[in-house]
Amino acid sequence: MVMQTRLYRKQHLFNEVSENPLLLTTIMNYLDNKDAVNFSLTNKKYHLYDSIIGNEVITPKLAEGYVKYLDEQHKKVINKTNDKFMSKFRKLLRQYESSPFNSCLKFKVFYHIFEYKDFLFSNYEKYKVFLNATEENLIRLIRNDHSYETIDAVHYLTLIFDIQPKAERIPGTSNDYVEYIISTKGERILI
């Protein structure tokens, strides 16, 4: 009877585990990405590109980790942009609340929204209510019949929501033309 040493037995067990892709996949699921990279560097048999085991077992684990990393970085960027947007927005609202008849401050708020238009529309589900309220406020300014506010409100509707003013020829009205816009909900609003 041949006697096996502990070292030989551990070496044999290690080889059996490392050559079984299912066991190796299970082990990889418990390792962090940096540990998986270090594991692949321990032996040429586990190298990411030079071996079948590395290519089939370790590379997908790292790819999955990279996707998670990109998602985390994207969420950090969104949160940072959101914080930046909201802090300035709150500051502008506080200034406007202190002097509500200052229309210049009112339109600074809309300009700030325009500056973050791409961010707001790229996260539309999160900001849907906010964007709808912004559009309704601009439409309310158009309906107030203050000509200086109407012009600015139409301008910001064009910038933020890409709503272009249109004209229709109607005989018998002043200048034979009526200007209007169509809101994002399909409502026709006379200017």
pLDDT top residue among 156 and 69: 156
Q: What is the pLDDT of residue 155?
A: 92
Using CA atoms, how far residue 90 sits from 70, 80, 131, 182, in Å, is 30, 15, 16, 29
Number of neighbouring beta carbons within 10 Å of residue 127: 19
In the chain, where the domains are located: 1-84
Per-residue pLDDT reduced to its tens digit, 101-129: 777 888 899 999 999 999 999 999 999 99
What's residue 48's pLDDT? Answer: 56
The pTM is what?
Answer: 0.63
Query: What is the structure's pLDDT at 113?
Result: 94
